[in-house]
Amino acid sequence: MKKRVLIIYTGGTIGMIRDHKTKALIPFNFRTITDQIPELKHLNCHIAFHASQKAIDSSDVQPAFWEELASIIEKKYHQYDGFVILHGTDTMAYTASALSYMLENLGKPVILTGSQLPLGVIRTDAKRNLITAIEIAASKKLVPEVCIYFNSQLFRGNRAEKFTSSKFDAFQSLNFPVLAEAGVEMVFDERMILPKPKKKLKVNYGFNEHVLVLKLFPGLSPAVIDALSEIKSLRGIVLETFGSGNAPSTKKFLDSIERLIKNGIVVLNISQCSGGMVNQNKYETGIGLRDIGVISGGDMTTEAAITKMMFLLNRYSSRSDVKRELKKDHAGELSL
Ligand code: ASP
């Protein structure tokens, strides 16, 4: 039996073609996709399409867009064996992370892909990214996860980050191995792929947007941190620290962070480094944070951390519940 794959088109560079008259890049009519990529007719699966009302650049993505995607998947879940989401690369890792928390007990592949060059450009990477993403979604080897497929590599979505805007290998995942490599053969790393859950899919909606990513830098004034207390609705901060989770050890800095925590704000420590993990027990500069109640974010990416914070702050009203859940691994985003 041929598998059934639903392609959900949202926008991004992948959906652009050149207007012959003006030479400008414009979103193409998604209904003509098989004219653009005739190879789609020859794949060994049934393909159906769903296009968002309006194609967007992924810089315009908001939590309501994640909810819309999750609800399409929820509604169509039983009709299809896998889902491919065409998405701009800029915020693809945020969408993948958010979906990984929303789609609890996901038992089917949800593969996000996009491209660095538009579909209508001769050297485009769009065709091969899309074709292989569909093949993975329809593969006999089941990958029941939210993934990003890009330039021959299949990443766990909440472990990936966009690290270059100019090369074809736009994504990397330094803290977790790739789930598959598409060479001459498709080679899956079975040990790394999450097992198929026994329970039924449960889609959790809602995000709390009253959060912030605060990137430390030498010279960041405690007065600026103190000013954050003025934002009465602020509930959570992802603190991007140095190296293995280190921050200034001055009393002024630590007092400012501690004041935020005492005001009820949850502070999560993740590193500015793409590889490695936060260890708040290693250096005095990390221990200081631990002692005032900052939570260690381990080896999570910024994208996985901020979307997890938004997700949990909406789900739990008590701060201790949010803190407890932040420390747990929910969808393979965190090594314990
Ligand atoms: N700005 C585009 C987007 O993220 C870039 C891309 O698709 O690669 O929507």
The tens-digit pLDDT sequence of the chain (336 residues) is 899 999 999 999 998 877 788 887 777 788 788 888 899 999 999 999 999 888 899 999 999 999 999 999 999 999 999 999 999 999 999 999 999 999 999 999 999 999 999 987 889 999 999 999 999 999 999 999 999 999 999 999 999 999 999 999 999 999 999 999 999 999 999 999 999 999 999 999 999 999 999 999 999 999 999 999 999 999 999 999 999 999 999 999 999 999 999 999 999 999 999 999 999 888 878 898 999 999 999 999 999 999 999 999 999 999 999 999 999 999 999 999
Q: Does 268 map to a domain?
A: yes
pLDDT of residue 23: 82
Return the C-alpha torsion angle 68, 74, 79, 84, nearest 10.
50
Written as six digits, the tokens of 263 are 């005001």
- Mutational test site, ligand 1, from 10, 16, 65, 90, max ligand atoms within 8 Å of CB: 90
What is the model's pLDDT at position 1? Answer: 86
User: Has residue 92 been placed in a domain?
Assistant: yes
CA 248 – ligand 1 centroid, Å:
36
Last residue of a domain, one of 180, 203, 226: 203
> Do 148 and 230 have their domain in common?
no
Same domain? For 180 and 49 the reply is yes
pLDDT of residue 282: 83
Give the number of other Cβ atoms within 10 Å of residue 239's Cβ.
26
Looking at the structure, do residues 139 and 94 belong to the same domain, yes or no?
Answer: yes
Both 96 and 193 in one domain: the answer is: yes
Residues 143 and 217 in one domain: no
Atom of ligand 1 nearest to the CA of 11: 9
Taking a C-beta distance cutoff of 8 angstroms, is the pair 75, 284 a contact? no
Q: Provide the b/e sequence for 19-46 (b: ≥16 CB within 10 Å).
A: eeeeeeeebbebeebeebbeebeebebe
Active site residues: 13
**Distance between the two ends of the chain, CA-based, in angstroms?**
39
Asked if the structure places residue 106 within a domain, the reply is: yes
Domain shared by 160 and 226, yes or no: no
Tokens of 59: 């810089």
CATH code at 175? Answer: 3.40.50.1170
pLDDT at residue number 168: 96
So what's the pLDDT on residue 49? 93
Residue 191 DSSP one-character state: T
Are residues 242 and 111 part of one domain? no
In 3D, which of 248, 238, 249 has the Cα closest to residue 217?
A: 248
If one counts the domains in the chain, the total is 2
Q: What is the pLDDT of residue 65?
A: 97
Write the residue with the smallest CA distance to atom 1 of ligand 1: 57
Angle ∠(147,107,301) on CA atoms, nearest 5: 30
Dist. CA 19–CA 29, nearest whole Å: 12
Q: Is there a domain that residue 274 lies in?
A: yes
The enclosing domain of 288 has a CATH number of 3.40.50.40
| Claim to verify: residue 245 and residue 301 sit in the same structural domain | yes
Same domain, 39 and 12: yes
Tokens of 230: 């003025």
Taking the C-alpha atoms of residue 100 and residue 157, their distance in angstroms, rounded to an integer, is 7
CA distance 246 to 269: 9
Report which secondary-structure segment, H or E, holds 154.
strand 153-156
The per-residue pLDDT for 30 is: 80
Structure tokens at 117: 């060059």
CA dist 31 and 14 (Å) reads 14
Give the chain's length.
Answer: 336
In the listed set 145, 169, 203, which residue is the last one of a domain according to the structure? 203
- Ligand 1 atom nearest residue 12's Cα: 9
Question: Is 201:212 a contact under the CB 8 Å cutoff?
Answer: no
Residues having CB within 6 Å of any atom of ligand 1: 12-13, 57-59, 88-90, 114, 116
Domain boundary among 203, 232, 258: 203
Q: Judge whether 333 lies within some domain.
A: no
The residues facing 158 across adjacent strands are none
Residue position matching structure tokens 């999570």:
300
Whole-angstrom distance, CA of residue 180 vs CA of residue 278: 27
Report yes or no on 234 lying in a domain.
Answer: yes
Looking at the structure, tell me whether residues 25 and 145 fall in a common domain.
yes
Q: In 3D, which of 97, 143, 101 has the Cα closest to residue 3?
A: 143
Atom of ligand 1 nearest to the CA of 13: 7
Name the helix (H) or strand (E) containing 33: helix 33-36
Residues 41 and 95 in one domain: yes
The domain in which residue 40 lies consists of: 3-203
Nearest-CA residue for atom 8 of ligand 1: 89
Look up residue 103 and give its two tokens: 């789609």
Q: Which is the closest atom of ligand 1 to the Cα of 116?
A: 8
Residue nearest (by alpha carbon) to ligand 1 atom 7: 88
Closest CA to 58 of 303, 305, 255: 303
Q: State the pLDDT at residue 312.
A: 98
Measured by CA distance, the residue closest to atom 3 of ligand 1 is 88
Q: pLDDT at position 50, please?
A: 94
User: Which residue(s) pair with 171 in the sheet?
Assistant: 162
Pocket test for ligand 1, best of 14, 25, 56, 58 (most atoms within 8 A of CB): 58
162 lies in a domain? yes
Asked whether residue 335 is domain-assigned, the answer is: no
Query: Residues 187, 129: one domain?
Result: yes
Identify whether the C-beta of residue 284 lies closer than 8 Å to the C-beta of residue 254: no
